[in-house]
């Protein structure tokens, strides 16, 4: 199975909150990331959280981390049509120079 798992699709109404969930496997991961990919574009870092934190808030974005359950979530408040994209969860593996392990991405569709 995949090391990082996400649900593949989420549909929300404009103005509602979106919650995208992710589970990961490596308890030694030090950083966890959320990337956004808009159509035809590359991956854009939205936010990241250090493993000794439970929550991080940045404007409309709230990241929650449950290390015990290896569960990460991204909440987008007041979701807008411009938030429609694929959201990738990723964990940082390894010491020193290291690499990102990504999930398959969650496609967020925002409708009026």
Partner 1 sequence: EAGVTQFPSHSVIEKGQTVTLRCDPISGHDNLYWYRRVMGKEIKFLLHFVKESKQDESGMPNNRFLAERTGGTYSTLKVQPAELEDSGVYFCASTTTAGLGGTEAFFGQGTRLTVV
Total number of residues binding partner 1 (CB under 8 A)?
25
Residues 6/70, Cβ–Cβ less than 8 Å: no
Q: In whole angstroms, give the CA distance from residue 74 to residue 90.
A: 12
Pairing label, strands 43-50, 31-37: antiparallel
Quote the tokens at residue 81: 């049509």
Q: How far apart are CA 112 and CA 104, in angstroms?
A: 26
Q: Locate 3 and state its tokens.
A: 């090391």
Q: Which of residues 29-68 bind partner 1 (CB under 8 A)?
A: 31, 35, 40-45, 48, 50
Query: From the CB of 22, what's the least distance to partner 1, in Å?
Result: 11
Q: Is residue 109 close enough to count as binding partner 1 by CB under 8 A?
A: no
User: 7-36: which residues touch partner 1 (CB under 8 A)?
Assistant: 31, 35
Q: Is 104 in the site for partner 1 (CB under 8 A)?
A: yes
Q: Does 103 bind partner 1 (CB under 8 A)?
A: yes
Q: Could you tell me the smallest distance in angstroms from the CB atom of residue 14 to partner 1?
A: 25
């Amino acid at each position: 199975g995949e090391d990082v798992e996400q649900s593949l699709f989420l549909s929300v109404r404009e103005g509602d909150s979106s919650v995208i969930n992710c589970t990961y496997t490596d308890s030694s991961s030090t950083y966890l990331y959320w990337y956004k990919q808009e159509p035809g574009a590359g991956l854009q870092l939205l936010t990241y959280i250090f493993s000794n934190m439970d929550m991080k808030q940045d404007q409309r974005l709230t990241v929650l981390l449950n290390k015990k359950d290896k569960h990460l979530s991204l909440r987008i408040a007041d979701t807008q049509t411009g938030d429609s994209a694929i959201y990738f969860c990723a964990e940082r593996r390894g010491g020193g120079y290291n690499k990102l392990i990504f999930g398959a991405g969650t496609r967020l569709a925002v409708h009026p």
